[in-house]
A and B are shown apart, each in its own frame.
Chain A
Amino acid sequence: MDDVLIAPDIDYLAVAPMIIVGVTAVVGVLVEAFAPRRPRRGIQLVLTFGALIAAFVVLISQAGTRVITGSLAIDGPSLVLQGLILLIAIVSAMLMAERRVDPAGDAFSPRASALPGSEEERVLSTRGFMQTEVWPLMLFAVVGMMLFTAANDLLVMFIALEIMSLPLYLLAGMSRRRRLLSQEAALKYFILGAFSSAFFIFGAAMLYGFSGTISLPGIADALSANPGQTPLIFIGFGLVVIGLLFKVGAVPFHQWVPDVYQGSPSAVTAFMAAAVKVAAFGALLRFLYVAFGGARWDWQPALWIIAIATMLVGSILAITQTDIKRMLAYSSIAQAGFILVGVIAVNPEGVAAVMFYLAAYGFATLGAFAVISLVRQDGGEATHLSNWAGLGKRSPVLALSMSLFMLSFAGIPLTSGFIGKFTVFEAAILADAVPLVIVGVIASIIAAFFYVRVIVLMFFTEPAEVGPTVVLPSVFTTLVLAISVAVTVILGVFPQPVLDLVEQANVFLR
């Protein structure tokens, strides 16, 4: 009987959301292969939105009814974060589906290998070729992200990391405009991503060498059973954490962020900035809390330094940026630092605060990049800050929305960002990390400078003679803006229901 393979008992309903998205992604690939060209985009849109919405509905209906632990942990944090990833994915997909703002079509190059401005490209676009592979790619990335937040052993976590990352490398290089910048960004992202993955898997091997297991709870048990210190522990821990910190863009593993955010199509940047952060912080939280929660005194000092460096470097470098996408990239680095403050707290309040912050930051980011995609000059996006002067006169509604997102990033009361910062700092104070909070507040003050500068530019500066045009979007981007504004305001004015939700779901199962 010993050599009989015992099939694992899988609770399919609990993992159904991931299965739905994953299977749809595979179907999407088949559609690319077999469906005729003209209806392809329509089919992909139906599949994508259908899968994401269905997954979200199943997730909601199953929430709280079943928990599993093993290689995957379906618990409070993973359910909340998966739901958040799905919502962000739905909104990002709307942004990617926008076809009216670029006169040449959507934001993606019909064939990434074609040289920009070449005869081949002209032919492709006049004949109506569209890039539709972005949809299955995006779904694969979503599966990876969902898996990442639920991964309860190091191998699943690594696989999830790769499923998430590989499609993103491709998506980053598919921009129709400024193709070379986009392809350079994709290659940089890929090389550095591979570099960090190597650290991660090397660290996982070290930890396996120490504990004889890859399961996170198993590592925790091994740590409490063997209090003696060996280099295997800190080298393994350090390398795994570095792999995860790379994904959230923490200093000094942040340098890819500005280049990639600037080069990628804005819709993809929005998706990466919002959703990858959710997934990576989910994995980081689980790794730190489940496997190394007992050893927090050992690793907190190192992460303190990283958090402080991340907040300060992100905020300070954003000040001298002249490109709004790069500025938002540094802003996202600084925001990652603020979120790290909540991570380091290692208490349930910290988990709740991080989840709330991710939601607040995610939707404000989606909205900000949606606005960027609408301010255009000569066909492409007008991302130089000088182009934004006087935008408030030309398009007050758009400028007001952008101001709202900036105020939320800066953490001004009555916006979601304020509640996010407040809860994160509150959790840190509960964990006696007062110096961290002080640095956080100082960094917030520095950061407020460049956020408010955008508002000043838009409303209090005379517009240039030949300014950019603000294009009127289709229903897709309009919806994205409306949703982002609504979430930013509601989470700022009436945050209690969401705070209650994240407080109910703030304990990791082992």
Chain B
Amino acid sequence: MIGTGAVVAQTAPLLAPLNAATGIFQYIWVLIALPLAGAIILLTTGSLLKRWGHIIGVATVGVSAILGIIMLLEMMGRSADDRAFGQTAFTWVFAGQFDVDVAFQLDQLSMVFVLLITIVGTLIHIYSIGYMAHDPDRKRFFGFLNLFIAAMLLLVLADNYLLLYVGWEGVGLASYLLIGFWQYKNSAAAAAKKAFVINRVGDVGLSLAIMLMFVTFGSVTFSSVFANAGEASDSTLTWIGLLLLLAAAGKSAQFPLQAWLLDAMEGPTPVSALIHAATMVTAGVYLIVRSNAIYDRTVFAATAVVVVGVITMIIGAIIGSAKDDIKKALAGSTMSQIGYMVLAAGLGPIGYVFAIFHLLTHGVFKANLFLSAGSVMHGMNNGVNMRRFGALRAAMIITFGAFTAGYLAIIGIPPFSGFYSKDKIIHAAFEQSNIVGIAGVLAAGITGFYMTRMIVMTFFGKARWEDDAHPHESPPVMTIPLIILGFGSAFTGMALVYWGDIETWLTPVTGLEERELAIPTVVLEMLTLATVLVGVGVAIWIYRRSVPIEPPQKVSVLTVAARQNMFDDAINDVVAVRPTWYTARFLVWFDNRAVDGFVNGLAAAVGGVSGRLRRIQTGFTRTYALVMVIGVLAVLTALGLVMLP
């Protein structure tokens, strides 16, 4: 421990009552309703409105974004205790003691998520107009995108876990539909199924956690669960925390449920951007930070969160270093960056704020990087293999500029936004434990390596293009969002620190605690920066000359493992797929032979009895009368046996 005890400690005021939603905040529900209405219109009108579909999609999300900005300004004008609002739409479930409302909660935490989702979502929508211009199903695509946004907004605006679960499942459904959007490709269909199945594993965790909360607290609203969290036993809280972690691992692609994320690249690139930046993967981080009252009281579960975060951070970075597919390299990077956030969220009050801070900056610069990659692909016949890129900076100067801004942001060069958020997390990690801190610095160095590898292979060096490739810059409808996001990558961090004061803003929800470090902050920053520069240098040194078109086969064990996604598919195959497969085959066999055999045999037996009994029904009245007499004698005998002493 370098930390020498708490200097500043503020815990979240858990019992702060929500203000009644008045004024502009009466329209919290509209934030969700608009994209939902867009989705319903786009998905139900068939070929009608085909030419205007994308406009509806962009407009609904855009208006939600504007509404969100107005709410932010209104919220900033209020005092810190006065910034959380609750709104009940209607009673949803009313069954005895189980009483759940469809009710929304908009506080400082939900607010930043609303802005991230709607603003980045709007930019991705606009970009998609160009990216999907030639797709015959563009309207359906926008319908799914709107559904995605609506579900994610429901997830972050719900005031109870059950409604959150609805949004959670909605996100899972929308991601399934979007990853498999080009379902005529077998790989896309399989990837969608993989994402869905792995997410279901996490969903089981969330549903069990909700049940456990209801059993323990008698309610599933945030306010009453958090208010009573202190009264539950340690083991109950630990179980709730671990189950929520399982849920978060599924949605946020954390170890050991990370396998779906790389395959999810089969979806159209805007979808990858949406999944990786603004929605879906951030849901797990949101869940953990939102449930801070639980994790503050269970050291075991919080430590588990840190461990999961560290493992994912490292293996994501290693996978990102070995992939030749630009989107998969970025996907590994996302795993790694989300790992940072999860790690921070597991640190408790010293980390919650920075988890969200990094989530916001990452949301912007990762959207930027993905959309830039999409722009490169757009100009390269949808190719993704970086070994066939190279020297593209001249051909697509705007894309190159935007990508560079994102690059500098993610590796954390000051004053780009990643510098502020990542350093805060590393700082907090050292406050907790040296090992975690060193892991954070190490991952930062690997980040420097794989990002430099990516930018060098794509934009510098010699052209290794396919013969029919004619690289060109994308149309303005795609480049304008890129420019905006590029500036966002550059300045979001600064803006949030110096203008938005993110720490003070979030403290009422998450609490904040700072500990003094033995080494000065500046030294730590220098150490991190030096590690990053080493990573950058190594990458430049390796890829400075020619890059072979075929991936080299004589590589280290680590590279082989990383190319195989750390053998994740093989592990899943052995641990889950094969056992399930054999169980299913056994059950089919058992059902065919034993169950059906038994049932069919029984049916045949009954039929046989029926056939024999039928013969008594001779049709002769005399037989009937005889059977009656026998019956009379039998009844009288039975009665006599009982009644006579």
Contact = CB atoms under 8 A, between A and B. Distances in A.
A344 interface: no
B643 A234 contact: yes
Contact of A301 (B625, B627, B634, B638): B638
Contact of A252 (B609, B627, B636, B644): B627
B639 A302 contact: yes
Contact of A239 (B616, B624, B632, B642): B632
B639 A299 contact: yes
A367 to B, nearest CB: 26
B600 to A, nearest CB: 12
A234 B636 CA distance: 7
Nearest to B635: A238
A305 interface: yes
B642 A195 contact: no
A252 B639 contact: no
Interface stretch (A156-164, A253-261, A277-285, A357-365): A253-261
Interface string A289-302: 00000000011011
A232 to B, nearest CB: 11
Nearest to B629: A195
> Which of B610, B623, B630, B645 has the most CB atoms of chain A within a 10 A radius of its CB?
B610
Nearest to B622: A191
Contacts of B634: 252
A237 B644 CA distance: 13
B617 A255 contact: yes
A452 to B, nearest CB: 12
B632 A238 contact: yes
Interface in B605-642: 606-607, 609-611, 613-614, 616-617, 619, 621, 623-625, 627-628, 630-632, 634-636, 638-640, 642
B643 A229 contact: yes
A317 B625 contact: no
Nearest to B634: A252
A441 interface: no
B80 interface: no
A301 B610 contact: no
B602 to A, nearest CB: 9
Nearest to B619: A259
A302 B617 contact: no
Given A252-B630, A252-B631, A316-B609, A298 B603 contact: no
Contacts of B638: 301-302, 305
B90 to A, nearest CB: 24
Nearest to B633: A238
B49 to A, nearest CB: 35
A233 interface: yes
A445 to B, nearest CB: 10
Interface residues of A, number: 39
Contacts of B611: 320
A252 B628 contact: yes
A235 B607 contact: no
A313 B642 contact: no
Given A233-B643, A242-B632, A320-B607, A255 B627 contact: yes
A234 B640 contact: yes
A302 B632 CA distance: 11
A494 interface: no
A255 B619 CA distance: 9
A231 B644 contact: yes
A241 B625 contact: no
A460 interface: no
B621 A234 contact: no
A212 to B, nearest CB: 19
A497 B644 CA distance: 45
A320 to B, nearest CB: 4
A114 B630 CA distance: 38
A376 interface: no
Interface residues of B, number: 30
A316 B610 contact: yes
A316 B632 contact: no
A187 B620 CA distance: 11
Contact of A298 (B628, B632, B636, B642): B642
Contact of A316 (B606, B639, B640): B606
Contact of B631 (A234, A235, A242, A259): A242
A193 B17 CA distance: 79
Contacts of B623: 255
A298 B627 CA distance: 24
Contact of B639 (A191, A192, A298): A298
Contacts of A233: 643
Contacts of B614: 317, 320
Nearest to B638: A302
Contacts of B625: 191-192, 195
A481 B423 CA distance: 77
B610 A320 contact: yes
A4 B609 CA distance: 65
Q: Which of A231, A239, A255, A313 has the largest number of chain B CB atoms within 10 A?
A: A255
A195 B628 contact: yes
Contacts of A451: none
Nearest to B607: A319
A306 interface: yes
B613 A316 contact: yes
A241 B645 CA distance: 21
Interface in A187-240: 187-188, 191-192, 195-196, 199, 229, 231, 233-235, 237-239
A251 B630 CA distance: 11
Contact of B621 (A188, A231, A235, A239): A188
Contact of B617 (A187, A246, A258, A299): A258
Interface in B578-619: 603, 606-607, 609-611, 613-614, 616-617, 619
Contacts of B619: 259
Interface in A57-102: none
A385 interface: no
A231 B613 CA distance: 33
A446 interface: yes
A231 B641 CA distance: 11
B631 A237 contact: no
Nearest to B632: A242
B644 to A, nearest CB: 6
Contact of B624 (A256, A302, A319): A256
A192 B644 contact: no
Given A319-B606, A320-B610, A320-B614, A306 B642 contact: no
B2 to A, nearest CB: 65
B636 to A, nearest CB: 5
A306 B635 contact: yes
A319 B610 contact: yes
7 contacts: A199-B632, A235-B636, A242-B631, A252-B634, A256-B624, A301-B642, A302-B642
Interface of B: 603, 606-607, 609-611, 613-614, 616-617, 619, 621, 623-625, 627-628, 630-632, 634-636, 638-640, 642-645
Closest 4 A/B residue pairs (Cβ)? A252-B631, A255-B624, A302-B638, A320-B610
Given A256-B624, A302-B642, A313-B613, 6 more contacts: A192-B625, A234-B640, A299-B639, A305-B638, A317-B610, A320-B614
